[in-house]
Every structure is written in structure tokens, then in C-alpha cells.
Chains A and B, each alone.
Chain A
């Protein structure tokens, strides 16, 4: 079964700083999805990447897919307190599987 490993597990950044979260798959990625979750709440779908080399942006969040490395990265530019939360990557194997999540805290 497909497994997704996220790094780092948690991250504390100063407001205004950039950061990157990585997601590595144990199998070939045919699509990679990023979600954000506020603690104890539902998931919010951020973006979907389906092609090698694809890069998508949503506001100050950019995600890239490197098919060869079976990896995706999520980059946040000029972080703000509103970016705080748990970021999960997901992949569609036989079912939707998630990485363990990266907890992001942004210090004002």
C-alpha cells in the first residue's frame, strides 16, 4: 500500500518568513493533493498536482510535484498567522491516503 511521509513533523516560523513542507511517497505518484486542517476541524482542500513538474499557487502557497523523486513540496511565502494549522498531503491509491501531517505555527 502507498505510504506518504511528511517532513518536518512540526514547524515554528516567525511571521513573514518563508517555509517549505515536503511529502514523499513510497510509490509512484499519479496525483498529489494538499490539504489544510485547523486543529480539531475538517480538512480544506488546497490544491491538486497531477503532472510531473507541475506547479500551482494559491495566494501565498505554492506546491510542486516531482514525479521522479516521488515527492511534492509546499512552499509558503511571507507566512502569516492565518497560515497556522496542520498541512496534510494526500494521494489516491486504492483509496485516499494521507501523510501524518505537518503542524505549522506562526509567531507574530
Chain B
């Protein structure tokens, strides 16, 4: 299994809603990542987890809250988002220190209304 599975594929949420994005991999990767990609822009790193611990937070607003409950799962909890947070959210996983060879999920297309 060489897939990173993200759910849901699409999400529309209001600014007062709370929702979660989920990501799962079964490749034994101990590094997992969240990226945000705006239209016609490259992905931007948000968070990195190494051995289920948050190792990098790229100054992401607290309305985004990551969680890594175990080595296969990565969640991104969303609360009180703004319309400008609408984007494609990509999850990725890799062996440690191999971010450049990461496997990416298909992404969740998030629209905040």
C-alpha cells in the first residue's frame, strides 16, 4: 500500500463551524505533513509531525489545530476559519528526513463560506 488517503475530498464549511480533515497512511512513515495550496500557487508547508510529535509549525494561525493520534493517522481540526482559508489541503508522509520524497494524498478541497 503506497497511498496516502485523505478525507473528505471536498468540504464546505461556515465560519462558525468546526470540522476535521483526516489523513491516513500505512507505509510505516514516521513523518507526516500538512500543506496548504492556494489556486495557481505551490504548496506551502503548515505542520510537520515526526514520531507523532509536532516538530514544525510554520506560524500557522491557531484556528488550525493538527493532531497525530498514532503513526498512521494525521488530523487537521478546523475552527472559526475565514474565507481566505479556502484552499486545497494536502497531507503527505515520508520516512524521517525525506520530506522531498514524500507521498502526497489527493487533497481536501476546502471552501469557507
Contact = CB atoms under 8 A, between A and B. Distances in A.
Interface of A: 31, 33, 40-45, 48, 88, 90-92, 95-96, 98-101
A95 B97 CA distance: 10
Nearest to B45: A95
Contacts of B105: 42
A88 B42 CA distance: 8
Given A33-B101, A43-B104, A45-B101, A95 B43 contact: no
29 contacts: A31-B100, A33-B100, A33-B101, A41-B107, A42-B6, A42-B90, A42-B92, A42-B106, A42-B107, A43-B43, A43-B104, A45-B100, A45-B102, A45-B103, A88-B42, A88-B43, A90-B100, A91-B100, A92-B99, A95-B48, A95-B56, A96-B45, A96-B99, A96-B100, A98-B43, A100-B41, A100-B42, A101-B41, A101-B42
* Max chain B Cβ within 10 angstroms of own Cβ: one of A42, A91, A92, A100: A42
Contact of A40 (B42, B45, B56, B107): B107
B56 A41 contact: no
B65 to A, nearest CB: 20
